[in-house]
Structure formats: structure tokens, C-alpha cells
Amino acid sequence: MPPTRDSSGTLRLSGADLSEVSGGTGTPLYAYDIGAMAQGARALQAAFEGQKHLVAYALKANTAGAVIRTFAAEGCGGDVVSGAELRVALACGIAPEHIVYNGVAKTDDEIDLAMSSGARGIGALLVESVEEIARVEARAQAVGRKARIGIRVNPSLDLAGKTHAHIATGHDRAKFGVPRDDATAAAGLIEKSAHLDLVGVSAHVGSHFNTVAPYVESARVVFGIVRSLRDAGRARSLEFVDTGGGFAVDYAGDASPPLPTPADFVRSVRAAQREHGIDDLALYVEPGRCLVAAHGVLVASVIQSKVTATGRWLMIDAGMNDLLRPALYQARHRIVPLRGDAPEAAISWRVVGPVCESSDDFGEHLLPRDPPGQVAILDAGAYGYSMASNYNGRQLPAEVFLRDSRVVGHTVRVSPEAWAQARARAGT
Ligand SMILES: Cc1ncc(COP(=O)(O)O)c(C=O)c1O
């Protein structure tokens, strides 16, 4: 559940008072409701009804062990994009066969690791170019294993204006995927190799689409390719089709009409899969954001206010190094006080972080005239901590994990002293 405010004006996440959960780590602090994440995963699983499927949680959204273990316990697999993400997925109990690996530039070591994990390697290495096929084939030969390959197709759609340009991936000018016109030839290369098995065809059209239309359009490209391969008597080893992630999140909290739910996305692609007569294949999806964003907040302390002729500024201790999305994607997150929300007494504050960049700016927000001691930045559970950095010599934020009103774990911050010592040693 997103945080709620009780009758005394206290902001609570998973029932816990957010100002009391830091366990002494202080702010900036990410707090997550992992019980609510589990519920979201269950609701999404239910949308598949009897259909063979895999919810491959996109780890890039949030790589915390407590989060990944929660999804693994709900029967989810993982979508990884690096050897390190693959390692954390395995360490958190996701079975190798339930992992798909996207990435335009997998190194030989990463390919070897994927092929060597478990009895048969991971579920699929999703190749993103025709050229990558020969490299995976050479590694399979060297490692002495047959590689399980999926083709990530670039559906080449016109996505202008449908989401932010930085997170639109399924268009002609994007680096991602095998161009749709080359997909059949790519399948041919895989099928004729003694070292490769073609097990899947996938696409990920991009992230944060507010309607199901681009997602279904992209899925139809995948399904169409599979249909025509089968019509030609090919692709007999196929096990799954994968329609990627990208389900929307209502960051403003007031979408009207309400945004489609993850289950709505799944129901729409299931219908298209049936139409293509390929519903014997498992349907894989790769959601990240929709499973975690709303169930995480970034708690920050107000350091300083400043009133100038041009505006009222609130400087908080969380910056773009803690939550990059506003600077990177011009994303807007709601910001609310931890205690005593009184919207009628609110005035507009420009909330900014401590980093020496003008883009370290969370925008204008209605907050009490007397600046609150602490604020929560909402919907920060996805692409928050996972994009955090030490820029400006700042520590990575702390994390706290909540379930049923209880704190079930913390991530401890690396001290500024340790960071300074490590950088001082650099190059010595
Ligand atoms: C290949 C792939 N799959 C899935 C996702 C997850 O997208 P989202 O978090 O929007 O669901 C991404 C996001 O970048 C991706 O690149």
C-alpha cells in the first residue's frame, strides 16, 4: 500500500509511523512495504488464470534482497541486465530456469555465467542483435553447453509522445533489440546451430505507458513473428513469448480515468496471444516499476529554507544522487510532510536537494508555511535506490523494509569516512 495518514496527521507505511522506523540510520531513508509488494505480485499472477506464464520481475527497478526474496516467494522469476543482477537474483532464491537476461552488450563472462547457472543454464539469454548470436554460439561451444536463446525483437513502433523519450525502447532509432525485419533470419541462425536452442521471442517496448495500446501493438509483433515461423514449420523448440514490462504507475495519484492495472495489460495481451493461436506457449512479462514504485517512499529531512524575491526554497537532505528520476526524466514525485498535513495552510515551496547541480530539483510542492521537519517523497520504490550514486561524495541512502507494521530489515549506510578513505586510496 502507498502510505496513509492517520487521524492525528501521522504518515504511515504498512501501518508504521514513518518518522519512527529509521532504526537510528537517519535520513535520507527509503522505506518499503514489502507486504504490499507481495499482494501486487499475487494480483498480477491471478490475471493469467490457467495460462502458463512467468512474471519475471525486472530487478533493475529495485535490487534489494528483501524485495527480490518477496517476489521469489510469490513464484516470480527475474529479468536481469547484468551478471551482478543475475548473481543477486540467484542468491535471493530465484530458480535459474526462471530468469531471462536482457542487455545489448553482455560480456563473455556474463554469457558464461548465464549458461553455467543451474542444470541447463538460465531460462533464456535474450539476444539483442544478429551479431550477438555468433558470440553466444562461440561461448556455448567453449563452455560445452547448449545455450537457451530468446530473440529480443525491436518492434519498430512510432512511440513519439507516448512516453518519455529516454524510456521508449521499441522504436527504430533505439539501440535495443533485433530489428523486427531481421527476426526471422536471426531465428534461422539459431536454429541451424548445434550449440543453440531457440526457446523464446520477446520485446520490451518501453516503460511507463498510460494505455495498453503500445504494449499490445508490440506484443502483436512478437506473436506475428512466432505465428509465421510456426506456419513455416519452424521454431519447434519455442517455450515462451515475452511481452516485456512497462506497465504504468500513477505518479500524480489522480489519473482520471484510472490508469490500466498490470492485470489489464496482461488480459489484453492474452487475448492477442489467443488470436494468434499460440497460447500453448508460456506468456512471460517483465514488470518492474508497477510492482514496487507505490510501495516505497524516500524520507528526507528539511535542512534549510530560503526565501528570495523569486521564490521560497526548501532544501532537503535527499538529492538527485538518492532519487535521479526528476533530473533524468523530468519526473515529478509528490512530496508530503511526515506529520500534520494541513492542505488549507499550505503554500508553494520549491523543494531542492543538496547536490551542486541545478537539475537537483524536485519541483514546486504545496507544503506547510512553517517548513516541516521531515517530508516523504512518494512512489519512490522503483528506480530510486537502484539508481542512487555517491555523486558529490554523498552516502548511498539507508533502507528499511516493513511488513505488517513491523520493521523486518535495514540496509546500513556506508559512512562518509569509509567513502572518503576509499576515494583517497584511488590510484595509489
Ligand atoms: C528489457 C526490460 N524489461 C523490463 C523493464 C521494466 O520496465 P518497467 O519497470 O517500466 O516495468 C525494463 C525497463 O527498463 C527493460 O528494459
pLDDT for 295-327, tens place per residue? 999 999 999 999 999 999 999 999 999 999 999
The question of whether 92 is a catalytic residue gets the answer no
Residue having the nearest C-alpha atom to atom 13 of ligand 1: 207
* pLDDT tens, position by position, 25-75: 789 999 999 999 999 999 999 999 999 999 999 999 999 999 999 999 999
Q: The cell 545455450 sits on which residue?
A: 147
> Which atom of ligand 1 lies closest to the CA of 126?
1
CA 187 to chain centre: 28
Residue having the nearest C-alpha atom to atom 2 of ligand 1: 204
Q: What is the pLDDT of residue 132?
A: 98
Q: What is the pLDDT of residue 210?
A: 84
> Which atom of ligand 1 lies closest to the CA of 247?
11
Q: Is the pLDDT of residue 406 over 80?
A: yes
Under the banding of pLDDT at 50, 70 and 90, the label for residue 158 is: confident
Q: What is the pLDDT of residue 320?
A: 98
Q: Is the pLDDT of residue 258 over 90?
A: yes
> Which atom of ligand 1 lies closest to the CA of 102?
1
Catalytic hit among 76, 92, 290, 356 = 356
In the reported structure, the alpha carbon of residue 372 is separated from the centroid of ligand 1 by a whole-number distance in angstroms of 35
CB-defined site of ligand 1, < 6 Å: 58, 60-61, 79, 102, 204, 207-208, 244-247, 286-290
Under the banding of pLDDT at 50, 70 and 90, the label for residue 159 is: low
Mutate to test the pocket of ligand 1, among 151, 202, 207, 383 (most ligand atoms within 8 A of CB): 207
In the reported structure, the alpha carbon of residue 387 is separated from the centroid of ligand 1 by a whole-number distance in angstroms of 14
* pLDDT tens, position by position, 68-93: 999 999 999 999 999 999 999 999 99
Q: Is the pLDDT of residue 23 over 80?
A: no
Q: Give the three cell numbers for residue 288.
A: 518492474
User: Of 72, 75, 190, whose CA–CA distance to 126 is shortest?
Assistant: 190
* pLDDT tens, position by position, 191-244: 999 999 999 999 998 887 788 999 999 999 999 999 999 999 999 999 999 999
